[in-house]
Amino acid sequence: MSDRTVGQRWLAARTRERTLSVTTLAGEFHAPSLDDFFPKAVLFQGTVFELDRLMLIRILMSAVLIAILMVAFRRPQIVPRGLQNVAESGLMFVREQICDEVLGKETGKRYFPLIATIFFTVLFLNFSGVIPFLNISSNARIGMPLVLAVIAYVAFNYIGIKKYGFWKYMRSSIVVPDVPPAMHVLLIPIEFISTFVLRPFTLTVRLMANMLAGHIMLVLFFSATQFFLFDGAAWMKGLSPFSLLGGFAFTLFELLVIFLQAYVFALLTAVYIGLAQHADSH
């Protein structure tokens, strides 16, 4: 028997051993499909009103937000207690720490309903990412972050155009004062892209990417726990407490991210409104 034939048989044997080992350790592997990221419609399939799982979660969390606010302020008391106290604390946080801080008391009061709506919408839609059996934020898909970014985009541009008129607002937003005329060739395109293209883009992608990354990390931690307990080799069961603890710790971190993303989105909306209102001073 030639050395080449012996080598081929040895390689085939080693390949079979490795295949059996991987099968024993990891179980059967199923490659993810697009349905994992874009689930099929579960209601009204085949119509323009079809709804998939993420859309149903979005509707559910929106309904929960509306219900909480209705119950909290159904019979408001002078000295708030219980749910009213929690709701008022949230509203006061948005008004004092975002609206008043960025826009001032008078202007902040005017745009408080818009900024508070954005804050609580983002917050509640994010919360579904850590709720059992929901397990994903509908902001992890680009649709809702894009809608919220468009609302903010239309709002701050409308405010600027209403105050200055279209051409003066555009000129004030993209023309940097007190620079050599030759520099405008470079600065005007940069300012235009920064103000009218990157702002809605970054609002959308920041929210979506953070919530999607958090969802993926939680899936990895808890899927690893399930794998170690039920599909892995006997020695792997000892690893399950560590992956479970990692998943729990990251869930706490995700709660912080959920709040921060709502805060950052609302804060940037307020900042962009302030910049639009004072476009002629920068």
Is 81 within a domain? yes
User: pTM higher than 0.85, yes or no?
Assistant: no
CA–CA separation, 80 and 62 (whole Å): 24
Instruction: Assign 175 to helix, strand or coil.
Output: coil
Is 268 within a domain? yes
CB 272 within 8 A of CB 199: yes
Domain that holds residue 79: 49-281
Is 6 within a domain? no
- Give residue 225's pLDDT: 87
* pLDDT tens track for 128-181: 999 988 888 889 989 999 999 999 999 999 999 999 999 999 998 888 887 888
Residue 26: pLDDT over 50: no
Q: For residue 1, what are the CA distances in angstroms to 158, 211, 243?
A: 84, 60, 50
Lowest-confidence range among 27-31, 57-61, 63-67, 86-90? 27-31
R_g (Cα) of the chain, nearest Å: 26
Mean confidence (pLDDT) of the chain: 85
Is 15 within a domain? no
Confidence of residue 34 (pLDDT cuts 50, 70, 90): low
Is 36 within a domain? no
Half-sphere exposure of 239 (CA within 13 A, CB side): 15
- Give residue 41's pLDDT: 74
Is 8 within a domain? no
CB 53 within 8 A of CB 42: yes
Is 63 within a domain? yes
Distance spanning both ends of the chain, measured CA to CA: 84
* pLDDT tens track for 226-256: 888 887 777 777 888 898 999 999 999 999 9
Confidence of residue 182 (pLDDT cuts 50, 70, 90): confident
Query: In total, how many domains does the chain have?
Result: 1
Is 17 within a domain? no
- Give residue 17's pLDDT: 44
Q: For residue 213, what are the CA distances in angstroms to 39, 58, 125, 194, 272?
A: 18, 18, 15, 25, 26
